[in-house]
Chain A
Amino acid sequence: MIKRIFCAVFGVLIFCGLLCGCYDYSDIENELIVAGMAFDITESENGEQLYLVTAEVVTLNSQSSGQGQGSHSALVQNADKTPLAAIRGIMACSSKKLFFGHCKLIVLSSQVAQKGIAPILDLVFRDREIRLLMDVIVARGCKAHELLSVSTVMSSIKSYEIVQTVKTVGKQYGTAPSVNVNELLNSIYNGSYAAKAPFFTVKKSTDGKDSYFLDGLAVFRNDELCGFVSSQNSSFCLLASGEFESGTMTCTLPASSFPFTFNITDSSTNIDLERTDGGAELTLKLDLTVSFTEIPDDLPFFSEKDTDLIVDQISKYISDNVFEVVKDTIDRYGTDIFRFLPKLMTVYPRYLSGFDSPEQFLRTLKLKVETNISAEDNGLSGGNFYSSE
Chain B
Amino acid sequence: MNFSFTAGQNMKKVIRCEGGVRLNYKNSFDKLRNKVASPVPHNKAPENFSRSLQENIGTLKKLFGNDDTLIVREFSTPSPFSLKCAVFFIESMTNELAVSEFLIKGIMALKIPPSIDPIEDIYKKRMLGSDVIIEDDPSKIIFALLSGSSVFFADGSYKAILADTKGYDSRTVTEPQNEKLLRGPREGFTEKITTNISLIRRRIVTTDLKFRFFTFGRRTNTLVAVTYLESLAKPEIVETLCERLSKIDIDGIIDSNYIEELICERPGAPFKTVGSTERPDTVASRLLEGRIAIIVNGTPTVLTVPFLFAENFQSGDDYYLNFIYANVGRLLRYLSFFLAVSVPAVYVALLTFHQQMMPSNFALSIVAAREGVPFPAAAECAALLLVFEILRETSVRMPNVIGQMLGIVGAIVIGESAVSAKIVSAPMVIVVGLTALTSLMVPRLKSAVLYYRLLLLFWSSIIGLYGYIFGCGLLIVRLLSMKSFGENYVSYFIAPNIQQMKDSFVRVQWRKMIERPADLSKDLVRQSSVKGEKR
Partners in one complex: yes
| Smallest CB gap from B361: residue in A | A66
Which of chain B's residues 291-336 have a Cβ closer than 8 Å to chain A? none
- Tell me if A16 counts as interface (CB < 8 A to partner B): yes
A6 CB, nearest partner CB in chain B, Å: 14
B-chain residues with CB within 8 Å of residue A62 when the two chains form the complex: 368-369, 371-372, 422
Residue in A29, A33, A58, A70 with the greatest tally of chain B CB atoms within 10 Å: A29
In the assembled complex, B451 has its CB within 8 A of some CB on chain A: no
- CB of B376 within 8 A of chain A? yes
Asked if A13 and B370 make an inter-chain contact with CB atoms under 8 angstroms apart, the answer reads no
Q: Is the CB of B365 within 8 A of A66?
A: yes
Is A26 at the interface (CB under 8 A from chain B)?
yes
Return B268 CB to nearest CB of chain A, in Å.
Answer: 16
Task: Determine if A27 and B370 form an interchain contact, defined as CB atoms under 8 angstroms apart.
Answer: yes
Would A71 and B364 be within 8 Å (CB), given that A20-B463, A60-B371 are in contact? Answer: yes
**2-25 of chain A: CB within 8 A of chain B:** 12-13, 16-17, 19-20, 22, 24-25
Task: Give the CA-CA distance A67 to B364 in the complex, in Å.
Answer: 7
> Which residues of B are found within 8 Å of A22, using beta-carbon distances?
353, 462-464
> With an 8 A cutoff between CB atoms, is A262 at the interface?
no
Q: Contact partner of B368 among A27, A35, A64, A104, CB < 8 A?
A: A64
Can you list, as one digit per residue, whether each of B362-383 has a CB less than 8 Å from chain A (1) or not (0)? 1111111111110011000000
Contact with A along B447-479 (1 / 0, CB 8 A): 000000000000000111111001000000000
Q: Which residue of B lies closest to A62 (CB)?
A: B371
Decide if A61 touches B466 in the complex (CB within 8 Å): no
Assess the A99–B355 pair: CB atoms within 8 A: yes
Set A16, A25, A33: member contacting B352, Cβ < 8 A: A25
CB distance from A77 to the nearest CB of B (A): 22
Determine which of B364, B371, B372, B467 lies in contact with A16 in the assembled complex, contact meaning CB atoms within 8 Å. Answer: B467
Bound-complex Cα distance A24 to B355 (A): 11
- B465→A20 contact, CB < 8 A: yes
**Bound-complex Cα distance A33 to B360 (A):** 9
Determine if B115 is an interface residue (Cβ-Cβ < 8 Å).
no
Partner pick for B376 among A20, A27, A58, CB 8 A cutoff: A27
Which single member of A70, A102, A129 contacts B360 (CB below 8 Å)? A102
Give bound CA distance, A66 to B462, whole Å.
28
Given contacts A22-B462, A27-B352, contact A60 B364 (CB under 8 A): yes
A13–B351 touching, CB < 8 Å: no
User: Are the CB atoms of A29 and B373 closer together than 8 Å?
Assistant: yes
**Chain A proximity of B477: nearest CB distance (Å):** 11
The answer to whether A61 and B371 have CB atoms under 8 Å apart is yes
Chain B residues contacting A33 (CB-CB under 8 Å) are 360, 363-364, 367
Kindly provide the distance from the CB of B418 to the nearest chain A CB, expressed in whole angstroms. Answer: 13
From B351, B353, B367, contact of A24 by CB (8 A): B353
By a CB distance below 8 angstroms, the chain A residues around B365 are 64-66
How many angstroms from the CA of A116 to the CA of B353 in the assembled complex? 34
**Beyond A60-B371, A66-B365, is A27–B377 a contact (Cβ under 8 Å)?**
yes
Contacts of B369 in A (CB 8 A): 62, 65
Q: Is the CB of B364 within 8 A of A17?
A: no
**A residues less than 8 Å from B356 (CB atoms):** 99, 101-102, 129, 131
How close is B315's CB to chain A, nearest CB, in angstroms? 36
Do A60 and B367 contact each other (CB < 8 Å), given the known contacts A27-B351, A102-B360? yes
Q: A160 an interface residue at 8 Å Cβ cutoff?
A: yes
The residues of B that contact A272 with a CB separation of less than 8 Å are none
| CB-CB nearest in chain B for A25 | B352
A28 interfacial by beta-carbon distance below 8 Å: yes
Q: Which residues of B contact A70 (CB under 8 A)?
A: 368
User: Is the Cβ of A13 less than 8 Å from the Cβ of B463?
Assistant: yes
Question: Measured between alpha carbons, how far is A19 from B469 in the docked complex, in Å?
Answer: 13
Separation in Å of the A7 CB from the closest CB of chain B?
Answer: 15
Residues of B within 8 A of A24 (CB): 353
**CA gap between A241 and B153 in the complex, in Å:** 110
- B370 and A29 within 8 A (CB): yes
> Contacts A29-B367, A62-B369 hold; do A19 and B355 have CB atoms under 8 A apart?
no
> Which chain A residues lie closer than 8 Å to B370 at the CB level?
27-29
Alpha-carbon distance between A237 and B367 when the two chains are bound, in angstroms? 42
* A residues near B366, Cβ cutoff 8 Å: 28
A105 vs B353: C-alpha distance in the bound complex, in angstroms? 23
* A-side contacts of B368, CB under 8 Å: 60-65, 70-71
Residues of A near B367 (CB, < 8 A) are: 28-29, 31, 33, 58, 60
User: Bound complex: CA of A14 vs CA of B367, how far in Å?
Assistant: 30
Give chain A nearest CB distance to B381 CB in angstroms: 12
B357 to chain A, nearest CB (A): 8
Is there contact, CB below 8 Å, between B355 and A101?
yes
Residues on A with beta carbons closer than 8 Å to the beta carbon of B464: 20, 22
One digit per residue, 1 when the CB lies within 8 angstroms of any chain B CB and 0 when it does not, for chain A 77-118 equals 000000000000000000000010110100000000000000
Given A24-B353, A27-B376, 19 additional A-B pairs, CB 8 A:
A16-B466, A16-B470, A20-B465, A22-B464, A27-B351, A28-B351, A28-B355, A29-B370, A29-B371, A33-B363, A33-B364, A33-B367, A60-B367, A60-B368, A61-B371, A64-B368, A99-B356, A101-B356, A102-B363
What are 11 A-B residue pairs whose CB atoms fall within 8 Å in the complex?
A12-B470, A19-B466, A28-B370, A28-B377, A31-B355, A58-B367, A62-B422, A64-B365, A71-B364, A71-B368, A101-B363
- Top 3 nearest A-B pairs (CB, nearest first) are A101-B356, A66-B361, A16-B466
